[in-house]
Amino acid sequence: VKLVGHHYLARKLAGTDLTQEDPFRLLQNYVAEQGDSIGNYGLALAVSPQGEMLLLANRLTLTDLNLGSA
């Protein structure tokens, strides 16, 4: 997903509470598969108008002036 000129990883979480899916664990699993470090990512949680929980993450990219803040 592209927001305000930056690319974000996006995932709709199952359910409406964080006991079913841990956002940090989901991101850690993703970055481990990429051979990366979770410290290189910003993480945000948003709620859609329909009440769906959306996890957004982006990676620190100095060449794009993207400081990894979600």
Residue 70 domain-assigned (yes or no): no
- The total of structural domains in the chain comes to 1
| Nearest one of 61, 50, 55 to 1, comparing CA atoms | 55
**Cβ atoms within 10 Å of 8's Cβ, excluding its own:** 19
Instruction: Give the domain extent around 48.
Output: 2-64
Residue 58 domain-assigned (yes or no): yes
The whole-model pTM stands at: 0.76
Residue 43 domain-assigned (yes or no): yes
Residue 69 domain-assigned (yes or no): no
Residue 60 domain-assigned (yes or no): yes
Residue 35 domain-assigned (yes or no): yes
Give 39 or 65, the one with higher predicted confidence: 39
The pLDDT value given to residue 70: 40
Q: Report the percentage of the chain scoring pLDDT > 90.
A: 46
Contact assessment for residue 32 and residue 16, using Cβ atoms and an 8 Å cutoff = no
